[in-house]
Amino acid sequence: MKDIKTGISEFVSNNISKSAPWTKLYMRLSEYLIILLFVSFYIFILTRYFWYLPSPSDPLVYVGPAVENISKGGVYTIDRIALYINLRLFSWIFNNSYISGMIYMVFINALTLTIAMIWAVKRSNIWAAIIFGVLFNTSFLTLGEGFYIYPDQTIALYSLIAFIFFFSDVKPNKYIGPIFYAGVFAAFASFTKIIGTTTFIFFLMVLVFRRDLKNLINYIVGAGCGAAITIVFFCILYDYDIKTLYAKALDLVVFFHAATSLPFGNAYTHHEMLLSLLYFPFIALFMMAGAYREATRYLFLIAWSFVIFIYTTVLINVGSCPPLPHYIWSAYIFVCLGLSLYLSSFMDSGQRTPSDKDKINIAHPLIVSLFLIIIISIGLKLGFKYGAVKTWSPGYITMMPIDIYYYRDFLANTYPKPIKLIFSLGPIIIFGFLIIIEVTKSKKVILSFMILASFWCAFFNGGLAFKHANSVRHQANVPYSFARVLSEIPAKSFCIYLSNMKEVDEGEVEWVYRLFFNNKYPKPKTILQQDSLQRAIINDIVFIKNLYDIDGEYIVTDNPESLLAIHPDAVKYKSDKCENGELHIFKLTDQTFQRLSDTFPTESLIKNGSFENWADTPNTSPYSWYGAGNIIKESSMVKSGRYSAKIVGDDNFNLSQKLSSPELYGNETITLFAWVKTSEKEKYRMEIYDGKNSSFSDFHTGNGKWQLLRVSHNVYKEPEFVEIRAIQGLRTGSGSESAVYVDGVLLFKGNISDPRKNINTK
């Protein structure tokens, strides 16, 4: 083996010019291999275990406009247009698909890791890159939030590039230097989210304290150029004009002015973001005093700047929202980088270049890197099997894993004793190593710390991140898989009846369907067209509460048995798997709609339930019904007979009827049916009230169509009265223009599901 190494060394020394470019590449080969190893490992584990689709919440708020190139409702804000530019470019590359946002996040995170490791090698040595690679690959943020489409990851990348330029050793030319480019990327960060202004302000203050007027001017000019580039690109890509963007800027000013007038919040209640072992490198901000005296101090100081900005926003209660994990992304990157450079300063870099002797020393850091990757893999596998918590709901993390006694109760009889021991002792050992490192600066202690941190952070953070990703993945997959099935229906108009899938959100399904699965309507090119498309889809895709409200040519259901029991002539079109079940598509026939058009029976306990009888006096209620002077006789919007009751106004106006002889219904179950039509969501529903208890139907969904509302009620044993009400639930602020129509009211004894079964039962 020694002869082989000697032969290679002699060949390199005698035959290779050290000035050749590819020779320099060879001499740095080990460093490039290590960087490639950690970046490839991150991409693999992120896409293999932690992926999830853009959730119909904040992620789609950003991806949606990038796909459609427009945004209804003013989603764009002036402080986030840099992110919209990037997402728009990626949506072009990947054909306006939802995967464009996912690939963008992988690209941004992997690029951040690559740049940080390369810079760490240059500023310190290969050990700095290895330590950073370990911290990056074992973080809850980079794993659990790796696919969360939000501005903070992009801010971290731009801020890191700005930092590298600002503290670059490259000498400026006559006009433009690194400080100028630092200003450009600081502007990019500022236009990605308001927290990105931290980067711009930090470097500005450094130059002011240095009293470096020349570089201060270059920095400000660079920031101005970066702002101009961002604004111009955004206007070109999104067909905006400067006047509209100026209005958006004013909206942002008004928002922050209103936010700062809110009561002060309590930042202390969110101190876990600094103290939790989920983000343990933040402990270095408190414990690594030596880092503030070394070259890494600016990395720690800019991290503190981001932390202070976040907690300041909590104090002024902006948006009344606590800080979420990804808010600290930029601070986390800078702390990890600072900690890596600080620890690596006590390590030997290893010999990078071949010498005339047989010392081509590339094996040591490479072997250590491979060993650490194996340790991380083992930790992740154990974390997937033994998660730190039994259940997980996405959102802010409130637990404090450094408290052994906190774990004692909910770990009891849950995990094997060795696992409990790892959970309990891991944080204490990590703290102990940090203290020993600060005192001894020992290379062996640092290597031991790297091994421990690799395993415990992968185990703890990886387990939490895996559960988090699984939870978000399931929630996001529901509307995506559902919308995919809807795209296969060969008609625009159809209805959906669900009795088993409780997790389906109507708005989320319509949103995902419109963005990614719409193949039946023209793609919108203007905001007005987008608004029209949204209304058309909401009008054509009707979620019904019962099987008498069917409309359109097709019906989608998860309960085909109930559908065929009521509509046996419906024809099966196809079935398809969904995230949490199976969906069945049926084509409705003419016989179905003919049967539905038949008038409901009149043999019910309600008087004048079809509203055919009215007094001749204007503005009076129909016979046997009581209102507040806002009930109108309607002949154009009718479901049963010649007339319906039209309720106008927005002041808790109700329409009611009290049954005669209420004592006849004591301890009886009665069922009410009523046809209701309105365009206001959650405005009206039906109620049965016996003077003591009430039962309510579902609200009308507000789709502007007739819906049959149903409610059953077990009457109190000695009712004072039994009253039937069409009752307003919410004030909508729409005034008299928001009308509600009621018709075909039926009431039967018993818990009745189908009013037709009560024909001729009297």
Q: What is the gyration radius of the CA atoms in the chain, in angstroms?
A: 33
Please answer whether residues 66 and 91 qualify as being in contact, where contact means their C-beta atoms are separated by less than 8 angstroms: yes
Evaluate the CA torsion angle 745, 746, 750, 752 in order and state its sign.
negative
Distance CA 364, CA 341 (A): 19
Q: How large is the angle between the packed helices 29-49 and 363-385, nearest 10 degrees?
A: 10
- State residue 756's pLDDT score: 60
Which SS3 state, helix, strand or coil, does residue 323 take? coil
Q: Which of 675, 670, 673, 647 is nearest to 659 (CA)?
A: 670
Residue 673 — φ and ψ, nearest 5°? -125, 145
Distance CA 717, CA 731 (A): 33
Distance CA 478, CA 579 (A): 5
Q: Give the count of beta carbons closer than 10 Å to the beta carbon of residue 398.
A: 10
Question: Which residue type is seen at 241?
Answer: D
Which residues in 562-626 belong to E strands, given as ranges?
A: 571-578, 581-587
- State residue 428's pLDDT score: 80
Which residues of the chain fall below pLDDT 70? Answer: 1-27, 71-76, 172-175, 240-272, 314-323, 348-363, 388-415, 591, 593-603, 616-619, 628-629, 651-652, 730-737, 754-762
Distance CA 171, CA 583 (A): 65
Q: Where are the domains of the chain?
A: 2-469, 487-596, 631-758
In CATH, what class is 631-758?
mainly beta
- For the chain, give the percent of residues with pLDDT over 90: 30
Q: Which residues face 495 on adjacent strands?
A: 542, 555
What's the chain's length in residues? Answer: 762
Q: Which of 682, 683, 686, 708 is nearest to 695 (CA)?
A: 686
pTM (2 d.p.): 0.78
Distance CA 184, CA 91 (A): 24
- State residue 265's pLDDT score: 55
Which SS3 state, helix, strand or coil, does residue 724 take? strand
Pairing between strand 669-678 and 706-714?
Answer: antiparallel
- State residue 235's pLDDT score: 83
Distance CA 292, CA 342 (A): 9
